[in-house]
């Protein structure tokens, strides 16, 4: 797997990700460079290549002169995510994704969750976007600071969260307005897919449904935008407690 772009690679190096080597535009070899210095500090091999060679390696076309070769993304367990809040001494704060397929949306969601201090993200193994190069690039390095668990069945994951005293709410139309629901408690939010929202079978497993008030004629928001608004409502409520 490859990570592309200066910010994403810097975050990966600072976050302790396992990187085999960093490929850098050879024109940067003679100048003082943050990525080269970080790679040396972490004892990561640096290979200087002409831009045309980097272009051939790039899958995004936006490498900015930096491409890192890394091991496949390592998913964690739900227990690992629950342990984050235990270690911090705070109420659990988790996001589950139900069928997010667009890697750009997934990457943007990871970025919002990292900024909001979400303990971790849970995704389904099938019929959903997995962590790939586009997700990593879109997250702009945030992925190195967010735990992600991959499960076979979201309903089973919800049951496990409930067993650990976490309240689970689907972010979907037709529910209680999110601003009226107490989210300072141990909470997990389920964000649905771009086209179909949260599945009815998943909603049935949740403790309730929370909704954002929509004032326009369009009846839905982009999944990453909706997620960003929802997670920062949790942040707002917890800050006022």
- Where does the pLDDT of residue 60 fall: very low under 50, low under 70, confident under 90, or very high at 90 and above? confident
Q: What is the mean pLDDT of residues 72-90?
A: 94
Q: Please list the residue range(s) of the chain that carry CATH number 3.30.1330.30.
A: 2-70
> Mean of the pLDDT values across residues 55-84?
89
Q: What is the mean pLDDT of residues 34-56?
A: 91
Say whether pLDDT at 220 is over 80: no
The domain defined by 78-240 folds into: Alpha/beta knot (3.40.1280)
Name the average pLDDT for the chain: 91
Pairing assessment for the beta strands 120-124 and 208-211 based on DSSP bridges: unpaired
Residue 15 pLDDT: 75
What is the band of 87 on the pLDDT scale with cuts at 50, 70, 90? very high
Percent of the chain at pLDDT > 90 equals 64
pLDDT at residue number 62: 81
Confidence of residue 5 (pLDDT cuts 50, 70, 90): confident
| Dist. CA 35–CA 66, nearest whole Å | 8
- Could you write out the three-class secondary structure of the chain? CEEECHHHHHHHHHCCCCEEEEEEEHHHCCCCCHHHHHHHHCCCEEEEECHHHHHHHCCCCCCCCEEEEECCCCCECHHHHHHHHHHHCCCCEEEEEECCCCHHHHHHHHHHHHHHCCCEEEEECCCCCCCCHHHHHHCCCHHHHCEEEEECCHHHHHHHHHHCCCEEEEEEEEEEEHHHCCCCCCEEEEEEECCCECCHHHHHHCCEEEECCCCCCCCCCCHHHHHHHHHHHHHHHHHHC
Q: Which residue, 189, 147, 195, is CA-closest to 168?
A: 189
Choose between 128 and 220: higher pLDDT. 128
pLDDT exceeds 80 at position 241: no
Q: Is the pTM of this model over 0.85?
A: no
119-123, 133-137, 209-213, 234-238: least confident range: 133-137
Q: Is the pLDDT of residue 90 over 80?
A: yes
* 12-42 pLDDT, tens digit each: 888 777 788 999 999 888 778 889 999 999 8
Pull the structure tokens for residue 136.
């990593």
Domain 2-70 has CATH 3.30.1330.30: yes
pLDDT for 185 equals 97
Buried b (16+ CB within 10 A) or exposed e, 134-159: bbbbbbbbbbbebbbbbbeebeebbe
According to CATH, where is 3.40.1280.10 located in the chain? 78-240
**Span 173-184, average pLDDT:** 95
């Amino acid at each position: 797997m490859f990570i592309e772009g200066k910010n994403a690679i810097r975050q990966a190096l600072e976050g302790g990700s396992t990187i085999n080597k960093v490929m850098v535009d050879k024109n940067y070899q003679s100048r003082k460079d943050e990525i080269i210095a970080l790679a040396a500090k972490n004892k990561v091999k640096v290979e200087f290549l002409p831009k045309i060679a980097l272009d051939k390696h790039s899958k995004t076309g936006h490498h900015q002169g930096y491409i890192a070769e890394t091991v496949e993304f390592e998913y964690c367990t739900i227990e690992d995510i629950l342990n984050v809040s235990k270690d911090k001494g705070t109420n659990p704060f988790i996001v589950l994704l139900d069928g997010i397929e667009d890697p750009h949306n997934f990457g943007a969601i990871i970025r919002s969750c990292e900024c909001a201090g979400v303990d971790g993200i849970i995704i389904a193994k099938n019929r959903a976007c997995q962590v790939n190069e586009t997700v990593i690039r879109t997250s702009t390095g945030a992925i190195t600071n967010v735990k992600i668990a991959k499960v076979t069945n979201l309903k089973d994951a919800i049951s496990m969260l409930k067993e650990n005293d976490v309240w689970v709410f689907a972010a979907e139309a037709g529910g209680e307005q999110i601003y009226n629901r107490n989210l300072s408690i141990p909470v997990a939010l389920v964000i649905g897919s771009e086209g179909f929202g949260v599945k009815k079978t998943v909603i049935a497993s949740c403790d309730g449904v929370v909704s954002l008030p929509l004032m326009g004629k369009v009846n839905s928001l982009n999944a990453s935008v909706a997620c960003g608004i929802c997670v920062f409502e949790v942040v707002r409520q917890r800050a006022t407690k």
